Amino acid sequence: MPRVTKVNDLKHEDATMSYTRIMGIWVNDETEYAKYRQGMMPILQSYGGAFGYDFRVSEVLKSKEQAPINRVFTIEFPNQQAMDEFFDDPTYLAVKKAHFDRSVTSRTTIALF
């Protein structure tokens, strides 16, 4: 049985990110979505952000939303301000408009913490 790590068990250096967003999206164009990810990664990294987990899912058994989901991921930042500044960055918004808006038909914020 795998060991479950409790938050209190984490050492300070293991918990480098402190603000996380869990998202569920429906990707309808994988090629265009890959272009989005490639274009946004340097911007994300400049705000200290990173993807923690990224899953393709084939079946959603329960959801609070009606929007379909085929991808679930965590996106992590040093703090909420860094996250807000990243999502408001004009360069990021241009990449989002060029690729994300064409490749993703729905998005659901599952959690912020």
pLDDT band at 16, cuts 50/70/90? low
**Per-residue confidence (pLDDT) for residue 69, from 0 to 100:** 97
Phi first, then psi, for residue 23 (nearest 5°) are -120, 145
Task: Judge residue 17's burial from the number of C-beta atoms within 10 Å of its C-beta, 0-12 exposed, 13-18 middle, 19 or more buried.
Answer: middle
32-77 pLDDT per residue, tens = 999 999 999 999 999 999 999 999 999 999 999 999 999 999 999 9
Phi first, then psi, for residue 96 (nearest 5°) are -60, -45
- What are the domain boundaries of the chain? 17-112
**Per-residue confidence (pLDDT) for residue 17, from 0 to 100:** 53
**Per-residue confidence (pLDDT) for residue 1, from 0 to 100:** 52
- The SS3 of residue 2 is coil
Domain 17-112 has CATH 3.30.70.100: yes
**Per-residue confidence (pLDDT) for residue 34, from 0 to 100:** 98
Q: Say yes or no to pLDDT of 7 above 60.
A: no
**Cβ partners under 8 Å of residue 113, min gap 6:** 19, 20
